[in-house]
Chain A
Amino acid sequence: MEPEDLNRRLEELKQRVNLIFKNIDCEAILNDVLRETPRTVLSKIIASGLSGRGGAGFPTGIKWQGAANADGKIKYVICNADEGEPGTFKDRQILDEEPDKVIAGMIICAHAIGAKEGYIYLRGEYAFLYRKLVSKCEEWNRFFLSNRNIDFTLFVRLGAGAYVCGEETALIESMEGKRGEPRNKPPLPVISGYKGCPTVINNVETLAYAVMIMSDGPEHFRSMGTKNSMGGKVFSISGDSPRKGVYELPLGMTLYEFVELLGDGDTKAVQVGGSSGTCVPRKKFADTIIGFEGVPTGGSMILFNSSRSMYHVLKNYLEFFQEESCGQCTPCRVGCQQLLKGIEAIRAGERPLSYLDRLRNLAVIMSVSSKCSLGQSLVNPFNSITGHFREEVCY
């Protein structure tokens, strides 16, 4: 396709979704929503098929329902703005450009579950957004919530540089003033979360979509995407692409279509879902669907062209995980180190090529024995890269 055609096609796709960055009157929508019963709000969110946009894809309505049904006088809503997955920056843009929509999403959730307090947990790297978000929250507290006698107050908490705090139970530990070490589940946070109270933790994008679902109706949201991946998705595009940036596109595209639009014509692999996601090689582009029926993603898409060494890419990921593993459970703490040392040793000729199979097995063991998704998901990049690019990793 010619560049003009590509731009036109990309624009078409963006227009087909156009929810997150659409100009809307959040206050008017909230006035309508707050007149509805919590039960109606829940049923609409469930009917929309909205699932968590942070990467894990848990059905949002079911999560809210869990917290709504849980016993407890005090309940919390937390907006997870600890966007730390390598290659992801869409939440930063949403928070920067659409903070009202995110806050409105928190108010809708609070109404649905009966929460008294809401927190935005903002990652330390985004401290430059802190003042802005604090004043936005104060505005909403003063001019909207207290004016209408709604017993819900918004706060902002700043993280301090720890990737693992994006995991919801680690985030709660961090908010409680402790080391950000994930908890055992169950109990799930919707039963026992922040300070032991029922807590809903949603990604920035998920909350913003909740507003659009209440505004346009669940059917409109369902009409986009595919049977298993409803709605739009905000993607962060980086790496070897002439069109790096943030795009809202429908789910369900094939990687082939995606790469044609956003690649540089020489894409050899795409890392879908950041460092903890899967690396898809060119030969699989045509039959890989971006969405829950294919490769699920929190939105991070890193493109690699043929000039990139996949050994270098994998080593960079492993250095990242080794540093960010919280160290609490042995499979993850030791596993991350051993995978990194292992590929270095093979590369240096200190270990035979067959050692790679033992490392791949170790990654599988980590996926079943680690406490949280950090150690569990390392198998995705490790085994996809070493599987598809074995020669590059070894020589």
Chain B
Amino acid sequence: MNKNISDAIDRYGNTRENLIPVMQYMVTQENWLSGEAMKEIADSFGISHAEVYGTASFYSFLNTEHCGKYVIRLCRTISCDMSEKAGILETLKNMLRISLGETTPDGLFTLLETNCLGWCHKGPAMLINDDVFTELTTEKTEDIIRGVVDNERKYCSI
């Protein structure tokens, strides 16, 4: 069995109310839920594969498609939209050279839009995995992405 799944089940248990915590753990470890992972989870919980896929696909933070290590979720809801979110989206697309919904070839970034993040007074806002970034400008966005990339390079060279 996938080590991450057995770790998650050791931590949370395999009763139905722990299905979402187990899947959330998998997403933090592997960025997404593969078909294989969902099958193994279903078997450990003693429920059908369809039940697991049906639950996972309901929630936008449980990725059932391959995702990069850093998932960028730019808020598209009205207040952020009114604070020039469109420009930030262009900046992200140009920098990462991908369109919405795509992952960079190096597997580092996935670019998504999401609904209200709850930072309406400080828009535009985005999440990179669980971290929040607000009052984005072109320069600030570029710095954030560069910061992530630099960090990643440092980490890999050690």
Contact = CB atoms under 8 A, between A and B. Distances in A.
Interface of A: 83-89, 91-92, 123-128, 157-163, 174-181, 195, 236-240, 244-246, 271, 275, 300, 302, 304, 308, 313, 316-317, 319-320, 323-324, 326
Q: Which 3 A-B pairs have the closest CB atoms?
A: A238-B120, A160-B59, A244-B121
Given A160-B20, A176-B16, 4 more contacts: A89-B120, A175-B17, A176-B17, A177-B15
A174 B61 CA distance: 13
Contact of B131 (A128, A180, A304, A308): A128
A323 B115 contact: yes
Contacts of A316: 76-78, 81
What band does the interface of chain B fall in when counting residues whose beta carbon is under 8 Å from A? 35 or more
B31 interface: no
A302 B116 CA distance: 13
Given A162-B59, A176-B16, A308 B121 contact: no
Contacts of A92: 118
B29 to A, nearest CB: 15
A308 B78 CA distance: 11
B115 A174 contact: no
A240 B78 CA distance: 11
A87 B79 CA distance: 7
B103 interface: no
A346 B131 CA distance: 40
Contacts of B79: 86-87, 238-239, 302
A275 to B, nearest CB: 7
A177 B16 contact: yes
B62 interface: yes
28 contacts: A87-B77, A87-B79, A87-B120, A88-B116, A88-B118, A89-B119, A123-B118, A125-B114, A128-B132, A160-B59, A162-B60, A163-B116, A176-B17, A177-B18, A177-B19, A177-B55, A178-B16, A236-B121, A238-B121, A238-B123, A239-B78, A244-B120, A244-B122, A275-B78, A316-B78, A319-B76, A320-B77, A326-B58
B67 to A, nearest CB: 13
Contact of A127 (B60, B81, B130): B130
Contacts of A239: 78-79, 82, 120
A49 to B, nearest CB: 28
Given A160-B59, A177-B16, A308-B82, A125 B120 contact: no
A180 B60 CA distance: 12
A304 B79 CA distance: 10
Nearest to B60: A161
Contacts of B60: 160-162
Contacts of B123: 238
B141 interface: no
A245 B121 contact: yes
Determine which residue in B16, B62, B120 has the highest number of CB atoms from chain A within 10 A of its CB, and name it.
B120
A340 to B, nearest CB: 14
Contacts of A324: 115
A320 B16 CA distance: 30
Contacts of B98: none
A72 B84 CA distance: 52
Nearest to A180: B58
Nearest to A320: B115
Nearest to A271: B78
Contacts of B115: 84, 86, 163, 320, 323-324
Contacts of A319: 76
A98 B60 CA distance: 28
A275 B21 CA distance: 29
Nearest to B19: A177
Nearest to B118: A89
A125 B58 contact: no
Interface string B99-111: 0000000000000
